[in-house]
Amino acid sequence: MSKNYLKYKKYVGTVQFDADDRIFHGHVLGINDVISFEGSSVAELEQDFKAAIDDYFETCRKISKEPEKPFKGAFNLRLDPSLHEILVTGALSEGKTLNAFVKDVLQKAFSETHA
């Protein structure tokens, strides 16, 4: 399985290749602030990714801003109303909140597909 992302200090960045410009580029996921990076080789891309994260921390320090934490553990999910109803019913039948029920379903599905 190929890995099209980079990780550094709990931040995850995308990896894309622009064939026209012959350059790798990406941006950090899971935060509202914009952090992008690029490189003409994988080594340059990785180096610029780490430098961009370090620069983000330094910039936040200089302006007295708390850096955004990636993947805070909350996200909105839009569902078809009938699926929403099925999930709520399933949660109630197991004596769980909708949040706990969906979390369990997602963990089980991930475990089964990545075993």
β-bridge mates for residue 5, sequence order: 14
pLDDT interval class at 77 (50, 70, 90): confident
Q: Which residue has the tokens 């909105």?
A: 76
* CA angle, residues 21, 46, 30, in degrees to nearest 5: 95
Which distant-in-sequence residues (6+ apart) come within 8 Å of 68 by Cβ? 31, 32, 33
44-76 confidence digits (pLDDT tens): 999 999 999 999 999 999 999 999 999 888 888
| Residues 8-17: tens digit of each pLDDT | 999 999 999 9
3-state secondary structure of 7: strand
**Residue 34 CA: distances (Å) to CA of 7, 50, 63, 99:** 16, 14, 16, 29
pTM listed for this prediction: 0.72
